Every structure is written in structure tokens, then in C-alpha cells.
């Protein structure tokens, strides 16, 4: 596949401007919508949730949804009409005037291979991912149609709140679901509901919500305080920021780790905000959310290394790390990763990610030097954010475009 030149986004921006300034009737011809309303009812006693998906036509229409639904997790699948089921493939032919599609998802509880739950429902609360609750689908639409999606919750008695990574409709238990990259706005990302305590703060234009079951050891105020310093630096680095980010957590027996999702993060309440080696799992996951950079096969070290690089760098920029401490972090990573001979691998963890951090520190220093400090790795990251899925060629092209020439960092045997 031919590589897209880095100047193409400027051409596309000009094209977008022409479209926006075209006569209204011309733009409206491709601007059509259909409506989706999801309603979720949690069932703690059954360890499950009932979901109704109501689809209605508007200026556009959804004709068919083809879902992948594991029979071990999804049951009671039905619709007003038009459903056929073949093992895990479920096809719903949507009536012309719309209709309802219903199913039960459960058991919600799910343990990771290493132990601990990454999804759980109790009598008092639930934490899970919308990626699981709402199955992926291939959708046939009328030309140019895009969904207008709302997500609603009916909570059990005694459950006081629900939150997601999407914007809330007034003070209700409903949310506006937006995924600008897709014509089917599926409510993915972390969800928390129940007897939950939370903290809200608006920082650098971002609505930050930190939530955990009441009585848990989640340090909500500490997290808000840390991001009061870090989010402004993140905005300076990356420019674009999400409108909302939800951070959820809980005590054991939940999984003792951290995972990011669209506009949301799960972090076990026992994890430190800043670890002993001065990196931060929470900042690391936040970088994944904000940049959206993902890897092409074999290049996981790029998004993981960048996220860990910024987990150190953004704390440093925010004043949370002295130059002496920064050097100690570098010394630790150099010693820990000295056995790494190549950065390329399907999964980058531990020592390989640490070595990738050193690579990005060296790359940043070389770009600064070659541009008299007029450019740095932030400029590279912004270019990669436009690409989304990246490999070594994308990283090299973006870096050399910013630096204005070849860079010695890419001659490293680690990249071979």
C-alpha cells in the first residue's frame, strides 16, 4: 500500500474548508442520521444485565446489524422481528419504521488469567466495559447515514449513580455517545454503577471524573490533585484533549493493574499514583487515551514506549521530578533494559518498554538539538496522532519531517 505523505492532512483540511463553505443543500445531501437508544438494567442477583437497543430511522436509516455474540455470554436474544441466529452470528434486519433488539449479558463477572476480576457485579455496584456489554456489529446503512446514540440506565434500588466516559444528559442517568470515527456509535469504554463515591473536576477543558465503590481505598482526591498539575502539561504536549475522562477503581478482588479504554481508565485502588521508579501507570494509561496511537503488528513498543516516556516526562514538566531524580530514572531504565537487543515484538512490556523510553528520550534530544529547541518529540506525537496506527516507517517519517533531515537515532541496531 502506498504511504500517505505527511502533507496530505493540509490538503484534506483545505478540502474540509471547501465542503464547510459549500451551499447548505450540497452539504446536507450526505448528512443523514438514524437514532439508537440503549437501555441497560443491571440484575445483581443474576450477575447479569438486560439490554434493549431501540433503532429508529430519521433522515437516514440502519437496515441491518450483524453482531458477534458468544452464546456463553449473551442469551435471550430477540427482536420485534427480523432476527436470525447462527452460533455466535446474530443478524437483525431492522424494520423500515425501526424496532427493538433485546438480550441479556452475563455473567458479568470475569477473571483475568493472572487472577483478579476485570469485570464484576455485586449487590452494591458494577464495574465493566461497554465493549463487552454492547457487542460489535457490522451495519448496513442508507448512504451517508450516521447514528445519534443515547445510553440510558435503570438502576437497582439503592444504587445511587452511574458514570461512563461519555457526556451526561443534564443530571440524568443518560449519556450522549459519540465516536467520530464510526457511523455506528457503540458505547465502549469503562462503566461504573451502584453505591459509588466520585469526584468531579474540570481541568484544562477536560471533565475529569474519578469514581469507586463507597468504602474502597481509592484515593479520589489525590488523583484529581495530580491531574490538576499533569493535564495542563498534557494539553500543551498533545493539543487535542477529550471532553471527558472517567477513572474507575476498586479494591480486591478486582485485578491489581490498570487498563485504558475510550475516554476511560480502570486502576486498582491499591496501585500507587507514582511508582518507586517514578513512572505512573495512571499517566501512562491517560496518554493512551489522549493520543489514541496504536501499533501495527510488531511495533507495540512505539505506543507503549511513548506512553511510558510521557509518564515520566509529564510529571517532570509539571514540577514533580527534579533533574537529579530524572537522571536516576534514566540510570535505572538503562540498567534494567541492558539485555534488550531489539525493540520489535508483538507485545512490549517491562524491560523492552523501558528501553523504548530511552530511545524516545534520545530521539527527543536529537530533534531539539537539530532544530535549536524549536521542535521536540511533542511535534512528532501530534503527527502520529493523525496516523493512529503506526509502524517504524511512520515514526521515522514524522520525526525527520519535524527535524528537517535524517536522524542518527534511527540507525540504532535496536530497530533492526
- Give residue 349's pLDDT band: very low, low, confident or very high (50, 70, 90): confident
- Give residue 314's pLDDT band: very low, low, confident or very high (50, 70, 90): very high
Higher pLDDT, 44 or 13: 44
Residue 247 Cα distances to 126, 147, 183, 244, 258, angstroms: 14, 26, 26, 10, 10
With a cut of 80, say whether residue 183 has pLDDT above it: no
Q: Phi and psi for 312 in degrees, rounded to 5?
A: -90, -50
Written as nine digits, the cell of 204 is: 484544562
The torsion region of residue 294 among left (phi > 0), alpha (psi -120 to 50) and beta comes to: beta
- Give residue 184's pLDDT band: very low, low, confident or very high (50, 70, 90): confident
With a cut of 60, say whether residue 360 has pLDDT above it: yes
Q: Which residues contact residue 392 at a Cβ distance below 8 angstroms, ignoring those fewer than 6 apart? A: 299, 302, 344, 415
With a cut of 70, say whether residue 15 has pLDDT above it: no
With a cut of 50, say whether residue 11 has pLDDT above it: no
With a cut of 90, say whether residue 391 has pLDDT above it: yes
pLDDT of residue 180: 66
pLDDT of residue 283: 95
- Give residue 5's pLDDT band: very low, low, confident or very high (50, 70, 90): very low
With a cut of 50, say whether residue 3 has pLDDT above it: no
- 289, 265 contact by CB (below 8 A): yes
Q: Say how far apart CA 74 and CA 68 lie, in whole Å.
A: 10
What percentage of the chain reaches a pLDDT higher than 70? 92
With a cut of 90, say whether residue 13 has pLDDT above it: no
Q: What CATH class does 35-271 carry?
A: mainly beta
What percentage of the chain reaches a pLDDT higher than 90? 82
Higher pLDDT, 37 or 115: 37
With a cut of 70, say whether residue 181 has pLDDT above it: no
- 262, 164 contact by CB (below 8 A): no
Written as nine digits, the cell of 91 is: 443478524
Domain residue ranges in the chain:
35-271, 288-415
Q: Say how far apart CA 395 and CA 117 lie, in whole Å.
A: 36
pLDDT of residue 328: 93
Residue among 113, 117, 196, 197 at smallest CA distance from 155: 196
Q: What average pLDDT does this structure show over 315-343? A: 94
**Cα-trace Rg, the chain:** 23
pLDDT of residue 179: 78
Q: What average pLDDT does this structure show over 53-66? A: 95
Cα dihedral sign, 339-349-287-291: positive
- 399, 384 contact by CB (below 8 A): no
Render pLDDT for 118-153 as a digit per residue (tens, 0 to 9): 999 999 999 999 999 999 999 999 998 999 999 999
Cα torsion 383, 388, 393, 395 to 10°: value is 40
pLDDT of residue 373: 95
With a cut of 90, say whether residue 199 has pLDDT above it: yes
pTM (predicted TM-score): 0.88
Q: Phi and psi for 301 in degrees, rounded to 5?
A: -65, -20
pLDDT of residue 182: 75
- 403, 375 contact by CB (below 8 A): yes
pLDDT of residue 297: 87
With a cut of 60, say whether residue 402 has pLDDT above it: yes
Q: What average pLDDT does this structure show over 404-410? A: 95
Average the pLDDT over each of 12-21, 53-62, 285-294 and give the range with the smallest value: 12-21
Q: Say how far apart CA 101 and CA 11 lie, in whole Å.
A: 42
Q: Say how far apart CA 203 and CA 244 lie, in whole Å.
A: 10
Render pLDDT for 223-272 as a digit per residue (tens, 0 to 9): 999 999 999 999 999 998 999 999 999 999 999 999 998 899 999 999 99
pLDDT of residue 30: 59
Cα dihedral sign, 121-126-130-135: positive
Mean pLDDT, the chain, integer:
90
Q: Say how far apart CA 58 and CA 61 lie, in whole Å.
A: 6
With a cut of 70, say whether residue 26 has pLDDT above it: no
Written as nine digits, the cell of 87 is: 452460533
Amino acid at each position: 500500500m502506498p504511504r500517505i505523505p505527511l502533507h496530505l492532512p493540509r490538503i484534506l483540511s483545505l478540502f474540509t474548508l471547501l465542503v464547510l463553505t459549500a451551499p447548505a443543500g450540497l452539504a446536507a445531501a450526505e448528512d443523514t442520521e438514524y437514532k439508537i437508544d440503549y437501555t441497560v438494567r443491571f440484575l445483581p442477583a443474576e450477575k447479569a444485565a438486560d439490554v434493549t437497543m431501540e433503532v429508529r430511522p430519521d433522515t437516514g436509516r440502519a437496515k441491518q446489524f450483524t453482531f458477534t455474540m458468544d452464546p456463553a455470554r449473551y442469551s435471550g436474544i430477540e427482536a420485534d422481528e427480523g432476527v436470525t441466529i447462527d452460533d455466535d452470528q446474530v443478524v437483525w434486519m431492522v424494520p423500515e419504521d425501526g424496532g427493538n433488539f433485546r438480550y441479556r449479558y452475563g455473567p458479568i463477572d470475569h477473571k483475568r488469567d493472572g487472577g483478579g476480576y476485570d469485570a464484576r457485579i455485586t449487590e452494591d455496584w458494577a464495574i465493566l466495559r461497554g465493549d463487552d456489554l454492547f457487542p460489535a456489529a457490522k451495519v448496513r446503512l442508507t448512504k451517508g447515514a450516521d447514528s445519534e446514540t443515547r445510553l440510558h440506565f435503570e438502576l437497582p434500588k439503592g444504587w445511587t449513580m452511574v458514570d461512563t466516559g461519555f457526556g451526561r444528559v443534564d443530571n440524568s442517568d443518560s449519556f450522549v455517545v459519540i465516536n467520530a470515527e464510526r457511523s455506528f456509535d457503540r458505547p465502549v469504554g469503562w462503566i461504573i454503577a451502584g453505591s459509588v463515591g466520585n469526584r468531579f473536576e474540570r481541568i484544562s477543558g477536560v471533565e475529569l471524573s474519578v469514581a469507586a465503590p463507597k468504602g474502597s481505598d481509592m484515593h479520589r482526591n489525590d488523583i484529581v490533585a495530580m491531574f490538576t498539575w499533569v493535564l495542563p502539561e498534557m494539553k500543551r504536549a498533545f493539543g487535542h484533549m477529550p471532553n471527558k475522562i472517567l477513572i474507575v477503581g476498586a479494591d480486591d478482588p478486582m485485578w491489581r493493574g490498570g487498563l485504558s479504554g475510550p475516554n476511560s481508565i480502570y486502576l486498582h485502588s491499591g496501585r500507587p499514583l507514582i511508582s518507586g521508579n517514578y513512572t505512573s501507570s495512571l499517566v501512562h494509561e491517560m496518554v493512551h487515551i489522549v493520543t489514541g496511537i496504536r501499533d501495527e503488528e510488531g511495533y507495540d513498543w512505539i505506543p507503549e514506549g511513548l506512553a511510558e516516556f510521557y509518564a515520566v516526562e509529564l510529571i517532570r514538566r509539571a514540577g514533580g521530578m527534579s533533574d537529579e531524580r530524572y537522571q536516576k530514572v534514566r540510570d535505572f531504565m538503562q540498567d534494567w533494559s541492558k539485555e534488550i537487543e531489539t525493540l520489535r515484538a508483538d507485545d512490549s512490556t517491562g524491560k523492552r518498554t523501558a528501553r523504548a523510553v530511552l530511545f524516545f528520550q534520545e530521539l527527543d534530544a536529537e530533534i531539539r538539538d537539530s532544530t535549536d529547541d524549536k521542535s521536540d518529540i511533542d511535534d512528532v506525537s501530534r503527527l502520529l496522532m493523525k496516523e493512529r496506527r503506526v509502524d517504524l516507517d511512520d515514526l521515522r517519517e514524522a520525526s525527520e519531517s519535524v527535524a528537517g533531515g535524517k536522524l542518527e537515532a534511527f540507525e540504532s541496531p535496536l530497530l533492526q
